[in-house]
Amino acid sequence: MPAAGVVMIIAVLLIVLAVVYYLVSTIVALQRITNSLDEAITGVVGIIEKSAPVDEVVTDINTNLDAGVSLLEGLLVKKAGMQDAVGLVDGLYPGAAAEGFRDFPESKETKAPRISEVYTKGTLTLARLGREAPIAAASPNGPALRNPAYGSTAARGLYPEIRQTRPQAMPRSPVIGTDSPVQYEPSESPGVRKRMPVPAGVGAAPAQGQEQAEGGIVKSGLAFLRRFKNDDEQ
Amino acid sequence: MTLEWIGDALLLLVVLPVVVYLLRGVLNAANSIVPSAQQIALAATAGSKDLDATTLLLTTQDQVKTTIVLAADYGGSLDVILDDAN
């Protein structure tokens, strides 16, 4: 065989070896890619299966929340009025008035009063309870509940407490100490007095044993109430 | 005879390098895809695991429904006991 033929055979063999080496390496790399993609497909299928009901559930949650928002916004606007409702929201969440209420587009143009500076949160709530509320029992036929200039005073008048009328003389606060007009004896058992306290200048109270003889704790309580009432009348 | 040597030279100096160059390019491209595919697989697996909590959405759904019903009940009562602004 001529030398040129031998060299040609060797050259072809080298080419074939190179092709085999690179193709086998490529096949191995492609198999690793295939395995990874199989894992990815499994994960993606899991994602698809798990996220399938999400749309329906989230839509339902949003629907319920939308209903809740509409309910609360509607109730707030209905009870407080648009201006005060916007002011209340802005007072609780500064800047929120600019966004307005979702179901009331006109609320965006409503100028929010500075409610948080005029009323405390509790006062505003109580003021909005209305004349029929128990808190307003002291002045059921009084003037308007709110006065923008003197809001806290007007709201304070809702409380059924005599101090709101600013009387000339109020009962003094209880005096305590060794020289106080009403002396309490130390009790041997908690919650049970040896005898009821007696204000200065009043006759001695009946003994505890006597009260119990009249009917026990209930009667002694009634006796105390009677004395309390008599003290008030005096 | 000279032509045979020329053919040998072409095979060894031109064809073999070209074949090697092309196949190496294919191998490099395939190898570069492997890490990306593995990262995709890891991300998909992690994403699937993260979505295990979606079953809690059913609990959230029930609780939101209950909350709104309660709020509606309170709202109805407030609507009765409170005066309207206007």
pLDDT digit string, tens, across residues B10-29? 989 999 999 999 999 999 99
**Cβ within 8 Å, pair B51-A11:** no
Find, among A208, A201, A233, A234, the residue nearest to A223 by Cα: A208
Average pLDDT over residues A63-77: 92
Instruction: Return the residue of B nearest to A48 by Cα.
Output: B48
Instruction: Return the residue of A nearest to B28 by Cα.
Output: A26
What's the confidence (pLDDT) of residue A127?
Answer: 53
DSSP state of A203: P
* Numbers of helices and strands, H then E, in chain A: 7, 0
DSSP state of A112: P
Give dist(CA A90, CA A82) in Å, integer: 12
Instruction: Return the residue of B nearest to A66 by Cα.
Output: B68
Find, among A118, A105, A198, A111, the residue nearest to A150 by Cα: A118
**Cβ within 8 Å, pair B40-A12:** no
What's the confidence (pLDDT) of residue A4?
Answer: 86
Which residues of chain B have a CB within 8 Å of the CB of A113? none
The yes-or-no verdict on residue A154 having pLDDT over 90 is: no
**B77–chain A nearest CA distance, Å:** 11
Instruction: Return the residue of A nearest to B52 by Cα.
Output: A50
Q: Which of A51, A77, A129 sits opposite B54 (nearest CB)?
A: A51
Residue B84, amino acid: D
**Cβ within 8 Å, pair A57-B61:** yes
Find, among A115, A111, A103, the residue nearest to A73 by Cα: A103
**A198–chain B nearest CA distance, Å:** 45
Which residues of chain B have a CB within 8 Å of the CB of A12? 11
What's the confidence (pLDDT) of residue A197?
Answer: 64
Is B30 at the interface with chain A, CB within 8 A?
Answer: yes
**B30–chain A nearest CA distance, Å:** 6
**For residue A179, what are the CA distances in angstroms to A232, A234, B34?**
22, 22, 95
What's the confidence (pLDDT) of residue B19?
Answer: 93
The yes-or-no verdict on residue A129 having pLDDT over 70 is: no
Q: Which of A2, A50, A80 sits opposite B51 (nearest CB)?
A: A50
Interface of B with A in 44-73 (CB under 8 A): 44-48, 51-52, 54, 57-58, 60-61, 64-65, 67-68, 71-72
Residue A16, amino acid: V
Find, among A186, A199, A196, the residue nearest to A224 by Cα: A196
**Cβ within 8 Å, pair B44-A14:** no
Instruction: Return the residue of B nearest to A126 by Cα.
Output: B82
What's the confidence (pLDDT) of residue A119?
Answer: 56
The yes-or-no verdict on residue A121 having pLDDT over 50 is: yes
Instruction: Return the residue of A nearest to B7 by Cα.
Output: A8
pTM flag (> 0.95) = no
**Cβ within 8 Å, pair A75-B7:** no
Tokens 């090697």 belong to residue: B20
For the question of an ipTM over 0.85, the answer is: no
